[in-house]
Amino acid sequence: MAPALFKFSLKELQDLFTSGDIGALDIARSYLLRMSQVESKVKAYITVREREQILQEADTIDASLKQWRKTQPLMAMPLAIKDNICTHGTRTTCGSTMLEQFIPPYDATVVAACREQKFLLIGKTNLDEFGMGSSTEHSVFGPSRNPWNLNYIPGGSSGGSAAAVAADECVAALGTDTGGSIRQPAACCGVVGLKPTYGRVSRYGLVAFASSLDQIGPITKTVADAAMLLNVLAAHDPKDSTSSNCPAPDFMKSVKKKDVKKLTLGVPREFFSEGLDPDVEQHVREAIEVFQELGGTVKDVSLPSTEWAIAAYYIIATAEASSNLARYDGVKYGYRTKERKGLFDMYRQTRAEGFGAEVKRRVMLGTYALSSGYYDAYYAKAQSVRTLITRDFDAVFQEVDFLVTPVMPTTAFPLGEKLQDPLQMYLSDMYTISASLAGLPAISIPCGLSQAGLPVGLQLMGRPFEESTLLRAAYAYEQTTQWRKKRPPIR
């Protein structure tokens, strides 16, 4: 009988593995058993790799470790990867009919970095089609479920990754965040989600949604785990022209002691506005008090351009998406229609059949925003707003070291509730989008359970390339409170 190794955090599991108490096969068996118990309920994965393949890889790791035990941080660690990040030899669908059969001939840079450390790839997790959505309900494979209540959404678009971590179906996962898709599902599922600064982590091999916003980041059980994974992900990559040269510090140094003294945190009043659920607000306010008790200085601040963020985001993101998704034409790769009368008809039919309703809505919105005659009215205007939002942040970061806000105006909502109302769905990103537009790092950590027993998330946003400050503050909060110890019932 495999021991319940799936209960441990990444750091704990790594320590056990390095000490020699357990082997890679023990880990693999434990996780495979866990998957067999809960995956049919949670549906976190689009593709689970062959059992024999995973066991074989684990066996190879154990065999190579006979003589010595010094390992790399991710060795034998079972990770899940969002299904819009390319994995050599394992299909990468983006939750879309368009790429349902697509098997990448190469690894994304982040995947290559994990492979170098001999991690165990468990499978590819569910997402809204091409990352467009906040609930995973826009996946052609059907929605994933929230482990805290299976009738609720796990958030999105990285809902599969967050649900897999919360349900112990992997020890940690990679997600992607364009307007909140790491932080929002992490909040819905009661786990930690970190969106790094734009440029911190390579996007090479990430299927593009909105290139000026997309970032890959960790979804984990603890803050230390996020630091550990970010250490592997953060690196300059010559294959990504927007990848930064800014040297990455050792992020594990930020999660050693509870230390927020000398830090000033800002509370932006625009993030506590109408529409914020009182239950959520109360937990966030209590979290702010915890920071104060730990010796942090609290300051009320204002980010006046916040109210335009959603409007600007949905123009910029759809504009970029309409251009990025032009490549799916039935010629180069992916789906091609069976019914065709000539070339143009083939294009048209392929896209009509290959994309879902939300993707089509965005391609149309984006094409419209970019069309001549409307470009200045929409796209150029949205870019100006983006600059204003960035300036707001620059100004407050003169006074404070990081900002504290809710992640989402509500907790997770029931499956189906917002599916017919795109605008309501878009509003669930109102607190995450600003950091995306400004390219800032932001982390979501659990800060409570609502009266209905659903997780509440706390967002910390920081200066560009100061993930360490966020990790330090998040770690201090996490270690002072008990929320990380709560487990979802999965029923």
Torsion of CA 31, 33, 38, 44, to 10 degrees: 40
Residue 216 has which token pair?
């890959």
Least distance to ligand GLN, CB of residue 111, Å = 18
Out of 139, 144, 149, 178, the residue judged to bind ligand GLN by CB under 6 A? 178
Catalytic residue among 96, 144, 157, 436: 157
Largest CA distance in the chain: 70
Asked if residues 266 and 299 have their Cβ atoms less than 8 Å apart, the reply is yes
Out of 133, 143, 330, 406, the residue judged to bind ligand GLN by CB under 6 A? 133
Q: Is 338 a catalytic residue?
A: no
The amino acid present at 224, given as its one-letter code, is A
Q: Is 158 a catalytic residue?
A: no
Which contiguous run of DSSP H or E holds residue 115? helix 109-116
Catalytic residue among 9, 30, 43, 82: 82
Q: What is the rounded distance in angstroms from the CA atom of residue 48 to the CA atom of residue 160?
A: 12
Q: What is the rounded distance in angstroms from the CA atom of residue 143 to the CA atom of residue 425?
A: 15
* Residue carrying structure tokens 């105006």: 409
Least distance to ligand GLN, CB of residue 416, Å = 17
Closest residue to ligand GLN, judged by C-beta, is 181
Out of 131, 196, 218, 406, the residue judged to bind ligand GLN by CB under 6 A? 131
Stretch that binds ligand GLN, among 53-61, 127-135, 234-242, 397-405 (CB under 6 A): 127-135
Q: Is 221 a catalytic residue?
A: no
List, in order, residues 6 or more apart from 342 with CB less than 8 Å away: none
Residue 11 has which token pair?
């750091």
Catalytic residue among 139, 181, 254, 434: 181
177 contacts ligand GLN (rule: CB under 6 A): yes
Out of 139, 157, 202, 322, the residue judged to bind ligand GLN by CB under 6 A? 157
129 contacts ligand GLN (rule: CB under 6 A): no
Out of 167, 194, 317, 454, the residue judged to bind ligand GLN by CB under 6 A? 317
C-beta of 127 vs 460, nearer to ligand GLN: 127
Site for ligand GLN in 393-452 (CB under 6 A): 429
Site for ligand GLN in 200-239 (CB under 6 A): 209
The amino acid present at 392, given as its one-letter code, is D
Closest alpha carbon to 79 in 100, 57, 97, 94: 57
Our CA angle for 201, 128, 134, nearest 5°, is: 85
Which residues of this protein are in contact with ligand GLN, per CB under 6 A? 131-134, 157, 177-181, 209, 317, 429
Enumerate the active-site residues: 82, 157, 181
